[in-house]
Every structure is written in structure tokens, then in C-alpha cells.
Amino acid sequence: MKYQKLTIKTSALACVLLLSACGSGSTSSTGIGSEQPGGTPGIPSEGTPTNPGSGTPSNPGTGIPDKPTVPVPPVQNSVIVVDGKTFTSPSEAENAIQNNSLVQFGSGVFTQGMTIRPDNVKLVGSDGTHFKGAQVQNKATFVIAGDNVSMDNIECSGVSVPNENGACIRQEGKDLRLSGVYFHDSEQGILTAKNTGSLIIEYSTFERLGKAGYAHAVYSANDRLEIRYSKFYRSKDNGHEIKSRAKETLIEYSEIASLDSADSRLVDISNGGKLTIRNSLLEQGPNTANFQVIGFGMEGIDQSVPQSVELTNNIILMERQKGNVLLGLPSDSSSVQISITGNNLIGTPFNDKAEHNIQQNNNIYDSRSAYGLGAFPELPSIGL
């Protein structure tokens, strides 16, 4: 097989992303090697493969900035402070929250959830803030009904509800921003309602989420979904890592990896729209149920909005034992503008390499060794 080659030998993203690492806010153990907050499973601290192969996508001109800090005073363990007033239970604190409130959580495990109804609320955790097995309204740990709410530095796990889509967050209000959250080992990470404006996820980690193929790490019905500087690992029980019905979905500088899980697609854009994935790492693992790495419009394309797919400057590993297809499309995809350029594509068989000018515009490697990457489950580093 003849491969497209460039002349600079380095990892597809390492040349532009060798900046300070970004933390997730909570310590995680993935079961592959050891992981510190913000670490990557299976990769030594230096992160870069010994020989990353030949070929470097064009420099995107942007690195990963450090996670912004939220300047708040320290909070005692196991308490919640709302606008300077201290509470010992989430239900008491919930009643005190008003528009523009600052809600601070101390370290410790909280087993009650909260409904956030006011607008412009900031929810800020301490190191070690962990909501475990908590839910309200048989929906989620946090039901966020207010508009323009932000959450920073909170861990959530163990969410389960009778209809099997228990989430760490159910977004019902408009415009939610998450930064430094660690959502794991629940039926769903975040589930959003329709007409909820934007969902922005930054500097966060989602892992071991999913249930019965209907719950996922992220399930977005927003108008716009933005994900950056974040990690999504091991969705389970045939769940997707990211499922989006948003009109626009942007994923950049992020890692999305099946590893050893029985997940489905890494990214599923159910009704199409505008999808952009750039400067990221995608790995479809050997046990993945679905052969498509990315699905686009597989549940019917919404012709009322422009349709496009842009995959640029990514590292994409396709390791499903029964075969892989990079991009799954409906039978009629004539309205979809597709650009797949500057990516390092690793895996065999690669059934659709002849489509969309993939062979001409990308670097293709038929194995990890051809790319210079170690044995599974090692992942290339993109600087997270």
C-alpha cells in the first residue's frame, strides 16, 4: 500500500500542543496504567510516541491554554455556601439560591441532588467535591432549569434512575457552561432538552457512561454544542461518547477514545447540521459495537439547516476487530459538504479511504507500528 507522506517527523498534534497539561478537577483511575488529574490512560508522562511516523498536518496556530481559575474563598469540608451563607445539606442550599448567586461546595461526598431554577448561577466545587449516587426528580444529580448557569470543578458518579437515563446534569434552561467537571460511572453524563441554547464543555473528563444504547456520555439537543480541551473515554453498554442533535457541533483539542469498552460511535450527529472536529484524537476500540467512527444524519437529515462535515488535523485510530468506516452517512447525503484533510488515519481495514479524497488529503497508516505507536491501549498525546 502506498501512503501519502510529508517530510516532518512528529506526532500529528504534538508539534502544536506541547504546552502545560490541563487538569480535570478530580483524580481518576481508568484501569489502564495510572492517571493523575488531567492525565491520559496508558501513556507515560512524556506522552509522545518514540517514532510518530511521517506526516504532520499544517500548524493550526493555537495551543491549549491553561484552565482559568475561579477566584473564590476556601470552603469548609462537607458544607455548601450560598452567597456567603453556610448550609449543611443540598436541599437547604437550593432554597437559598437566587438569580446571580455564587454557590460554593466544600470537599466531601454529597448524596443529595439539586434543582437550580434561578438564572446566572455559578456552581463552584473544591478539590474533592463529589456528588455520588445523587438524583432529583428521577432525572439527574443536577436539574438545571435556570439560564446562563456555569459549573466548575465538580465530580459526579453513580447516577441511576428508573427510566435508565440518570445523568449528572439534565439541562432544561438555556446556555450552560461546564469547566473542570469529572462525570463517570453513571447512566448518562449530561442530557439536554430541546431549545436550550448552547452547551459548552471545557477542561473536563467523561468516562464509563452509557446505558442500553440510549444513554451516552453527552446527549445534546441544544442549538449549539462546543467541546474543547476535554476527554471522553469508554462509553459503555453501546452508548456513544458524544451524541448531538444540535444544529452546530464543534469539537476541538479533545480526546475521544473507546479503549476496551463496548461503546457505539465515538461521535453521532443524529440529524446532521454543521459538524467540525479539529486538532483532536479519536480512537475506536476493538470491542466497539458500531463500525462507524462518526455517524452523520443516520436518523434523518434536517434539511432546514446547512449540512457540512469538517475533519481537520486529527489523529484517528480505527481498531475495531470487525472493520471500520470513518464516516457513516445516510443513503442520500448529496446536500452534505464534506472536508476531510490533514488527518493522520491509523487502522485497517479502512473501507472508505477512497471516498471524499481521503487518500489524497490525509496520511494513512495501516497499523500502530507503521505510525510508530506502541501496542494497544497506548494513545498518542495531543497535550492534554
Residue-wise pLDDT tens digits, 274-292: 999 999 999 999 999 999 9
Percent of the chain past pLDDT 90, that is, above it, reads 74
Identify whether 105 is part of a domain: no
pTM, two decimal places: 0.84
pLDDT score of 71: 74
- Structural element, H or E, at residue 360: helix 358-361
Separation of alpha carbons 223 and 216, rounded Å: 18
Mean pLDDT along residues 27-40: 32
The percent of residues above 70 in pLDDT, for the chain, comes to 82
**Amino acid code (one letter) for 209:** L
DSSP 215: B
C-alpha cell at 116: 437550580
Query: Residue 69: is it exposed, middle or buried by C-beta count within 10 angstroms (0-12/13-18/19+)?
Result: exposed
> Pairing state of beta strands 344-347 and 336-341?
unpaired
Task: State the pLDDT at residue 30.
Answer: 34
- For 198-314, list the strands marked E by DSSP: 198-202, 205-207, 218-220, 224-228, 231-233, 242-244, 248-252, 255-257, 267-269, 274-278, 281-284, 292-296, 307-312
What confidence tier does 348 reach under pLDDT thresholds 50, 70, 90?
Answer: low
Q: Is 162 exposed, middle or buried (0-12, 13-18, 19+ CB in 10 A)?
A: exposed
Taking 70 as the threshold, does the pLDDT of residue 41 lie above it?
Answer: no
Q: Is residue 307 part of a domain?
A: yes
Please tell me the predicted confidence (pLDDT) of residue 64: 86
Mean pLDDT over each residue of the chain, to the nearest integer: 85
Distance, in Å, from the CA atom of 335 to the CA atom of 176, rounded to the nearest integer, reads 31
**What pLDDT, on the 0 to 100 scale, is given for residue 349?**
63
Give the separation between CA 235 and CA 8, rounded to whole angstroms.
35
Give the pLDDT band (50/70/90) at residue 38: very low
The CA distance from 55 to 76, in Å, is: 51
Closest CA to 99 of 157, 148, 154, 36: 148
Strand order through the sheet with 325-328: 114-116, 140-144, 167-171, 188-192, 218-220, 242-244, 267-269, 292-296, 325-328
Q: What is the pLDDT of residue 342?
A: 97
104 in a structural domain: no
Residue 199 lies inside a defined structural domain of this protein: yes
In a domain, 292, yes or no: yes
Has residue 116 got a pLDDT over 50? yes
pLDDT digits 0-9 by tens, 145-161 = 999 999 999 999 999 99
E-only strand ranges, 248-369 = 248-252, 255-257, 267-269, 274-278, 281-284, 292-296, 307-312, 315-318, 325-328, 336-341, 344-347, 363-365
pLDDT band, very low/low/confident/very high, at 236 (cuts 50, 70, 90): very high
Assess whether pLDDT exceeds 70 at residue 353.
Answer: no
Distance of CA 203 to the CA centre of its chain: 10
Query: Where is average pLDDT lowest: 4-13, 328-337, 372-381?
Result: 4-13
Residue 86 lies in a domain: no
Residue 72 has pLDDT above 90, yes or no: no
Res. 53: pLDDT tops 70: no
Q: Would you say residue 21 lies in a domain?
A: yes
Q: Residue 221 has what pLDDT? A: 97
Q: What is the pLDDT of residue 359?
A: 86
**DSSP letters along 96-118, please?**
H--TT-EEEE-SEEE---EEE-S
pLDDT of 55 reads 34
Q: Report the pLDDT value the prediction gives residue 100, as an integer from 0 to 100.
A: 98
pLDDT at 4: 35
* pLDDT value at residue 347: 87
Q: What would the mean pLDDT of 330-336 be, rounded to a whole number?
A: 92
Q: What is the pLDDT of residues 184-213, one digit of tens each?
A: 999 999 999 999 999 999 999 999 999 999
The separation between the first and the last C-alpha atoms of the chain, rounded to the nearest angstrom, is 33
10 Å CB burial of residue 71 (0-12, 13-18, 19+) is exposed
CA distances from 217 to 163, 199, 308, 349, 378 (A): 16, 14, 23, 27, 22
Q: How many domains does the chain have?
A: 1
DSSP 3-state assignment of 23? coil
**Residue range of the domain that includes 303:** 14-63+121-371
Decide which of 308 and 15 is more confident.
308
**pLDDT band per the 50, 70, 90 thresholds, residue 355:** confident
CA 231 remoteness from chain centre: 5
Residues 133 and 149: their CA atoms lie apart, in Å, by 22
Q: Is residue 93 part of a domain?
A: no
Least confident of 58-72, 185-199, 231-245, 246-260: 58-72
Reported as a pLDDT band with limits 50, 70 and 90, residue 69 is confident
CB 314 within 8 A of CB 344: yes
